[in-house]
Homo-oligomer: A and B are copies of this chain.
Amino acid sequence: MFTYHRTVHYHETDKMGITHHSNYIKWMEEARIFLLDSIGLSFRKMEDDGIMSPVVGINIEYKHPTTYSDLIEIDIAIAKYTGVQIIFDYTIRDTTTNTIAATATSKHCFVKDGRICVLTRSASEYDSLIKKVLQGQLPSDE
């Protein structure tokens, strides 16, 4: 499991005085890229290799509102990986109010040169890295 930290920015709040719910989707992306970078699967290198990993589904439950200046911790883990799809699990905690702000999952496929690809074949280097993380062979940050 990896933990990504960030603070709620003023420009992320809305008229209700709380963080606008669309920002959690952006935070999940930030946490995902943080995890991938941490395991040596740099998003930038992937793009240079012509590989992209678009979002195909998101499921999020909002539990407690957060607001400007709250410290947020996002626990993120790879929940499932098939070579064709990867699913991430997220727990978004507000350490300022000591509450679970939201829980979520996101599902992604892999695209190479504009076409959906099987990572096992098209980018075995990435495939190995993800499998090592799942088997606990790569150090997580906790």
Contacts and interface: CB of A to CB of B under 8 A. Distances in A.
Interface string A55-67: 1111111100101
Nearest to A104: B58
Interface in A61-85: 61-62, 65, 67-69
Interface of A: 9-11, 13-18, 20-23, 25-26, 29-30, 33, 43-44, 47, 52, 54-62, 65, 67-69
Given A14-B15, A68-B15, A26 B9 contact: yes
B65 A54 contact: yes
Contacts of A21: 25, 54-55, 58
Given A25-B22, A60-B57, A14 B16 contact: no
